[in-house]
Structure 1
Amino acid sequence: MKKIALIYMGGTFGCVGQPLSPMPAAQFLPQLQNILEPALDLDCLIAPVIKDSSACTPRDWLELVAYIQTLQLQGYQHFVLIHGTDTLSYAAAVLARFLAQSVNMVVTGSQYPLLTAQGSALREHSDALDNLNLALSQVKQLEAGVYIAFDQHIFHAQSVLKQHSTALNAFVGLHAHMDFKQTHQPYHITARDLACADAFRCLNIMWQPLSMTQQVIQLKQLCQDAPDVLILQGFGIGNLYADDSLIEVLHDLYQAGCLTLLTSQVPFGALDQRYAVSAWTTHAKILISDCASHADLYAKALKIYLQYATLDERRAHWHEFTSI
């Protein structure tokens, strides 16, 4: 099928009023269709979940993946998704990890609403229509995979970071023309996956310059009720200073069922363990991130969590799905 499935999931793009609030999707989509070029061959569809993107959960995005997989069975191959910008990078990374190259998909959104406050006309000085037109124009031109369209740029979905809260150039990442190791194999979502996603616990800690005693005390508190995944954001190229007490508590977290991942606070550039200060990672129960962005690390952790039942299996298979 050549027709594009345009899926609306909410966000600033569809907001009206002052202060802004979402227009119900059933009212917004007819307005959107009247604005779009009549010659466009597309179907406007409502996502399974419509909500502010800051409130999105793993289950919301997996329900979206399942919905897209159902549409694929109906013959759709090209998809454009309108999503809120707060967690757009996370949504796009999850879609890329789970749908892989089974689709041609572009995710977009906007910093300003499409319509005026009254919801009756196209708003002036908005990036919404430009971003959507870019996505629609590119979705059939790009190679299979998932991308983000924003401010006249097309990025690989797994590489993107939101860099500004209000500017139109809100996102940065690897451009679509650059070489990138995309996920190849899609993952079919089941009812079990949706139930498990509700229970997924992922905690991120941005490492701060504290005494080792305080670092260890804080991590020991986690051992009492450990998350499924703990992401430690170190400095520079992934550096953390560690002594025997830190390594011991990381072993304790592993025994408590926690997969610990080391990444960096620096948004771009691969991790590098050449410095002696990071040699401890080979002795601790910790894995090094091989993902293209923080959102991609989250998406990979979610997929590994669903795909493998035990911590040992998750560790053993982690590096089979690298994106750098």
Structure 2
Amino acid sequence: MATILAGFEGLVMPGDELWGYTGEAARLLKEAGAEVGDRIRITKPDGTVYEGILMPRYALAQKPIIVVKLDNGYNIGVRVERGTRIEVVEKRRAKVGAVVTVPLLEESPPAGPKPRVYILGTGGTIASKVEYETGAVKPAMSAEELLEAVPEIGFIADIDAGVLFSILSENMTPSHWERIVDEVAKLIQEGYDGIVVAHGTDTMSYTAAALSFAFHRGLPVPVALVGAQRSSDRPSSDAAFNLHAAVLTAAKAPFAEVVVVMHGETGDTYALAHRGTKVRKMHTSRRDAFQSINALPLAKIWPQEGRIELLVKEYRERGREKLVVENGFDDRVALIKYYPGMKPEIIEFLVEQGYRGIVLEGTGLGHVGEWLVDSIKKAVDAGVVVVMTSQCLFGRVNMNVYASGRKLLAAGVIPGSDMLPEVAFVKLSWVLKRARDPEEAKRLMLENLAGEINPRHTVNLYPKWPHEP
């Protein structure tokens, strides 16, 4: 695996081909003395001015288009023609091999080599690039391509990257979680200072929970899952900003936890690092779709400033623990959302099919229709572990308040406290891979293993923590 350092000399092409530019575009850049990473100003014959960081082209083509990264973080292609002027406003700050440090919490970092961060691709919108020759969006998960698209990450860390697999996140299964766990563990053992997992957003919270439980006994570095709500071919793409924030988190954050790093608000100002067992995608398309539920985010990240602000006092410290891996997930677990009129046959069918665990997403404090109690009790008597969570998401189940809840407790249902339904599902899948009997499974489900249970709720946890003081 070749480590790509800050700077782009390695991308210079022979002859008239310059960083993927040819023809008129290459001639104008050479005459201006411009290099990738320089801040340039393009003035077109009609007086229109574009200013930003010169980026490399993703393909060699005769089309006279120059790619610049604007101050808002978006990349655009500017067509140049006769009469177009290009001038260098500011030369880039780093050459190949230079150590460019990023301050953390307004403190000067120690001198020395940059952290090593590995970006592991598993699919999703984040792992894509725009092909400026064709306008298509294609997979982009080599270190070279990532540094072309988001050169800022090369100033933070020495980047390596690779693809474990490339699938839509709705196609993730427990066996995929196991492969990700094994690969992350291997990379940590190889000495990386942080791992970024590029992942589709739709089921990213499931994978984050799986990693959280697999590493709950020992994790020495941060593992940051990151995705994009909008692809690289859209002006409002959040891919570059999110990746920048995730790399900063993996390289510099003081905590060693599994987190999801995504936009904290709709603009490009800050991202949030959410604990992997307390995060949920709460909107289909907004850039700030991810939210911590019944908990505060661990940190607020300003990638453009290289700054991380901790929002909680309790966290696992970077470098304190040795790596301990407990991999393995049972795929004979079901997550069922209760609805009015739900038939007992659904529970009975799962038992007949050999399922070992069921997580119910009940109403309110943790209820289902009373006609389901008998079938649930039969499932428990057959050795199936049944856990109750709430469709409300915020708050916790309390099955002692109403008679229906007390009947479910008497039938052997385990209250899931304030665990999110999908987190309880992942946890039960993990627990049943190692519990010897239902009683041990119950003990583990009631134990706070990876921050999935918050014993105390405060006002600012609902409906959403205040973004600004």
Q: Same fold (TM over 0.5)?
A: yes
| Structure with the higher fraction of residues in helix conformation | 1
Whether the 8 Å contact between 1:10 and 1:53 is mirrored in structure 2 is: yes
Q: Look up the SS of the partner of 2:447 in the other structure.
A: helix
Aligned pair 1:107/2:225, yes or no? yes
- Which of 160, 172, 190 pairs up with 1:74? 190
Q: How does 1:68-217 map to 2 (within 5 A)?
A: 68-100=184-216, 102=219, 103-114=221-232, 116=233, 124-139=235-250, 140-151=252-263, 152-173=271-292, 174-176=296-298, 177-178=311-312, 188-189=325-326, 193=328, 197=329, 200-210=331-341, 215-217=343-345
**TM-score when normalising by structure 2:** 0.59
2: CA distance, partners of 1:63 / 1:92: 13
2: CA distance, partners of 1:72 / 1:170: 29
Partner residue in 1 for 2:358 = 230
Q: Look up the SS of the partner of 1:10 in the other structure.
A: coil
Q: Deviations for 1:146-190, whole angstroms, at most 9, x for unmatched residues?
A: 1111112221121111111111111111311246787x9975256
Q: Look up the SS of the partner of 2:253 in the other structure.
A: coil
Q: Deviations for 1:66-115, whole angstroms, at most 9, x for unmatched residues?
A: 1111112212231122111011111111111112351312211101123x
Whether the 8 Å contact between 1:84 and 1:109 is mirrored in structure 2 is: yes
Residues 257 and 36 (structure 1), Cα distance of their counterparts in 2 relative to 1, 3 Å cut: farther
Whether the 8 Å contact between 2:397 and 2:418 is mirrored in structure 1 is: no
Q: Relative contact order: is structure 1 or structure 2 higher (C-alpha 8 Å, sep ≥ 6)?
A: 1
Q: Look up the SS of the partner of 2:343 in the other structure.
A: helix
Q: Deviations for 1:195-224, whole angstroms, at most 9, x for unmatched residues?
A: xx4x612212211122xxx63343233332
Whether the 8 Å contact between 1:155 and 1:175 is mirrored in structure 2 is: yes
Residues 181 and 142 (structure 1), Cα distance of their counterparts in 2 relative to 1, 3 Å cut: closer
Deviation (angstroms), 1:56:
0.7
Deviation (angstroms), 1:24:
6.2
Aligned pair 1:252/2:378, yes or no? yes
Whether the 8 Å contact between 2:223 and 2:259 is mirrored in structure 1 is: yes
1: CA distance, partners of 2:315 / 2:394: 16
Which amino acid in structure 2 is aligned with residue 111 of structure 1?
A: Q
Aligned pair 1:48/2:164, yes or no? yes
Deviation (angstroms), 1:16:
5.7
Partner residue in 1 for 2:22 = none
Q: Deviations for 1:246-298, whole angstroms, at most 9, x for unmatched residues?
A: 43322321243321111111122121234123111331121111353233212
Unaligned runs of 5+ in 1: 117-122
Q: Deviations for 1:89-144, whole angstroms, at most 9, x for unmatched residues?
A: 11111111112351312211101123x3xxxxxx6321111111112223322422
Q: Look up the SS of the partner of 1:158 in the other structure.
A: coil
Residues 200 and 217 (structure 1), Cα distance of their counterparts in 2 relative to 1, 3 Å cut: closer
RMSD: 2.8
Q: Look up the SS of the partner of 1:12 in the other structure.
A: coil
Deviation (angstroms), 1:309:
3.8
Percent of matched pairs sharing the same residue: 21
Partner residue in 2 for 1:221 = 349
Deviation (angstroms), 1:25:
4.1
Deviation (angstroms), 1:241:
4.5
1: CA distance, partners of 2:431 / 2:315: 18
Whether the 8 Å contact between 1:9 and 1:82 is mirrored in structure 2 is: yes
Moved more, 232-241 or 37-46: 37-46
Structure whose CA Rg is larger: 2
Q: Look up the SS of the partner of 1:149 in the other structure.
A: strand
Whether the 8 Å contact between 2:140 and 2:146 is mirrored in structure 1 is: no
Residues 132 and 154 (structure 1), Cα distance of their counterparts in 2 relative to 1, 3 Å cut: same
* Structure 1 runs, 4 residues or longer, greater than 4 Å off: 16-22, 179-182, 184-187
Whether the 8 Å contact between 2:297 and 2:312 is mirrored in structure 1 is: yes
Deviation (angstroms), 1:321:
3.4
Residues 299 and 221 (structure 1), Cα distance of their counterparts in 2 relative to 1, 3 Å cut: closer
2: CA distance, partners of 1:77 / 1:295: 29
**TM-score when normalising by structure 1:** 0.83
2: CA distance, partners of 1:170 / 1:128: 14
2: CA distance, partners of 1:79 / 1:3: 9
Moved more, 156-165 or 303-312: 303-312
2: CA distance, partners of 1:45 / 1:236: 44
Whether the 8 Å contact between 1:104 and 1:144 is mirrored in structure 2 is: yes
Partner residue in 2 for 1:11 = 124
